[in-house]
Each structure stands twice: as C-alpha cells, then as structure tokens.
Amino acid sequence: MLEQETRVPTPVWVRVLVWLCLPVVGAALLWGVLQLIEWLPFGGPFNLVRRLPEPWDLVVALGVGAIIGLIFAALVDAESLTVRVTTLEVVLTRPGHRRVVPRGEIAVAFPDRDQLVLLGRSGQELAREPSHLSHAKLQQAFGARGVAWAGQDPYLEAYRRWVPGLSDLPDAIFAARQKALDSGDEDDIRELREELGRMGFVVRDEKKKQYWRRVA
C-alpha cells in the first residue's frame, strides 16, 4: 500500500517570479542610478561605467544589475521550503538541503518568526529551517498526520539570555557563535547551533542576541 503523505511546497510560480523579477529589478535600478549619477553626491565605480562609450555604458549597467539581481534571487530561492509529512517521517527540503526527521520523534511543530521548528519529546530541537509557508497550511498538514502544532515556541518562557562568563555553559561555543551572528556567517551559526544541541542546549536568536535553555 502506498504511504500517504501531505505536502506543503513553496508555489512554483513564486520561485519563477523571483528568478524573473529580481534580475529585471536589479538591471532597472542600476540603469536608474546611471541616469542620475550627475546629481548624486557619490560616484565611485558608477562613474567608470558612465564614461564608457554608448551603448556600452547601458549594456554594462544592465548586465551588472541583472547579475546582482540573480545573486539576490539565489539567496531568496535558497529559503524555498517544501514540507512533506507522512505517517513515518517529516521531510524538509530546499535547494541544496534535505532534512529527514522520523515522525515518531516529533512532539510539536511551530513557527518561530520566519523559521519552522520541530521539537522532540524532551524539548530538544530536531530541525529548524527557514520558511515563508502559510502557517494555516502547515498546521493542517501536520495535524492530518497527528503532529501537534503550536502557534509559538511552547518553551518560550524558559529561555535566558547568554552573556559571557555564565557558569556551567560552554562559553567558548557561545562566544564563537556570537561572532558568527555579528558577521552574518550563516553556516557557522547553524553548525554551532547543532553543536550546542548535541550538548543539551537549545538556542534562539533575537536581534543578534542569543537566548538559551537546557533540554529536560
């Protein structure tokens, strides 16, 4: 018998729109800057483009703007999450990344700002992925497979802010993660979060500040 599943994907038309529109917007913005360069208080590399003979100034401006738009499109698309919920597992997929969590290990799912979080039976964090999916659709998908849904983190009141020097905490890891937060190193932020998770800590971030709680 085929395993039943419920899927909540990022709509294809949204992803297509991102890849089509952002390069066009980038090209248009850079072309606009090029037209206004004489009235702007700064010039820098724009002056170099402006000095190119026509129509190469326009070609270069549109090309560079489109490339910038493509870079932003790739960053946005990297957060295009698809959630697949079956009776056996929950699969979270986005470009270049796939996480599988056994259905029986999940106690609750909830949105945390622009992320989807899955918690285990003892409160440990099983998954945290960027998500802009409809909360109502996610609630319906998880509920259809018997996974509890919460409107917010059920342990929200248990978090305490990390400051250097607190006893019984892996201070070096928190300090390294704070440095990654300050610099915006997403890979390090995720890796160190998972390392803290293996040590029995759950971390949430607010405005580049770390808040922690212990797993029961």
**pLDDT tens digits for 70-125?**
888 777 766 778 999 998 999 999 888 899 999 999 999 999 988 999 999 999 99
Q: Tell me, yes or no, whether 147 and 118 share the same domain.
A: yes
Looking at the fold, whether 134 and 89 belong to one and the same domain comes out as yes
| Placement of tokens 């305490």 in the chain | 160
Are residue 93 and residue 143 in the same domain, yes or no?
yes
Q: Residue 2: what pLDDT? A: 44
The sign one gets for the Cα dihedral 178, 184, 188, 193 is: positive
Q: Is residue 47 part of a domain?
A: yes
Residues 93 and 54 in one domain: no
Does residue 4 fall inside a structural domain?
A: no
Same-domain pairing of 125 and 142: yes
Given the DSSP bridges, would you call strands 209-214 and 201-206 parallel, antiparallel or unpaired? antiparallel
Whether residue 133 is contained in a domain is answered as: yes
Taking the C-alpha atoms of residue 7 and residue 166, their distance in angstroms, rounded to an integer, is 43
Is residue 1 included in any domain, yes or no? no
pLDDT of residue 26: 82
Q: What's the rounded Cα separation, in Å, for the pair 110 and 143?
A: 12
Name the token pair of 202: 């759950």
Residues of the chain with pLDDT under 70: 1-4, 11, 35-54, 56-57, 77-78
Closest by CA position to 158, among listed 117, 215, 90, 78: 215
Range of the domain at 173: 156-216
Q: Residue 176: inside a domain, yes or no?
A: yes
Q: Are 130 and 77 in contact (CB under 8 A)?
A: no
Using alpha carbons, list the distances in angstroms from residue 22 to 17, 46, 169. 8, 20, 43
Say how many domains are in the chain. Answer: 3
pTM: 0.73
Final residue before a domain boundary, out of 122, 154, 186: 154
Q: Are 145 and 161 contained in the same domain? A: no
DSSP state of 11: P
Same domain assignment for residues 54 and 87: no
Structure confidence at residue 52 (pLDDT): 64
Pair 181, 144 in one domain: no
CA atoms of 203 and 182, how far apart (whole Å)? 16
Strand partners, 86: 5
Cis link prior to 102 (omega < 30° from 0)? no
Domain end, chosen from 129, 154, 179, is at: 154
- Angle, CA of 137, 142 and 145, to the nearest 5°: 130
**Are 135 and 186 part of one and the same domain?**
no
Of 101, 130, 154, which residue constitutes the final position of a domain? 154
**Shared domain check, 73 and 26:** yes
45 with 95, same domain: the answer is: no
pLDDT of residue 172: 95
